[in-house]
Amino acid sequence: MRIYNAIEAKITEALKPTFLEITDNSAKHAGHSGAHPEGESHFALVVVSEAFEGLNRVARQRLVYAAIAQEMTDHIHALELKTQTPAERNV
């Protein structure tokens, strides 16, 4: 849970999400290229934040990647992102 906890802390600090869901999908990728035997290599995130207001999908993803840059470099092999504003979440 070391990487999970780092993702949670860094996203929370950087983006102040109103909703954050982190799913570790590493078990689904066991034995695949880039999968770590100890897990925590493949994640799916749903991030809802006012920080995304007025930004396109790519700009939103860049904010997430910037927040967890160290984890992306050191451990995360795959990251699935869903980024929304609070207004988009409530639609």
Encode pLDDT of 39-75 as tens digits.
678 899 999 999 999 999 999 999 999 999 999 998 8
Residue 17 belongs to a domain with what CATH number?
3.30.300.90
Q: Is residue 90 part of a domain?
A: no
Q: Is residue 60 part of a domain?
A: yes
Q: Is residue 87 part of a domain?
A: no
Instruction: Convert the pLDDT of each residue in 20-31 to its tens digit.
Output: 999 998 876 555
Q: Is residue 68 part of a domain?
A: yes
Q: What is the pTM of this model?
A: 0.86
For residue 27, the 8-state DSSP code is G
Q: Structurally, how many domains does the chain consist of?
A: 1
* Beta-carbon contacts of residue 4 (< 8 Å; ≥ 6 apart): 22, 24, 40, 43
Report the distance separating Cα 50 and Cα 40, nearest Å: 27
Q: Is residue 89 part of a domain?
A: no
Report the distance separating Cα 46 and Cα 64, nearest Å: 11
Q: What single-letter amino acid sits at 63?
A: L
**Domain extent at residue 37:** 2-76
pLDDT-derived band at 36, boundaries 50, 70, 90: low
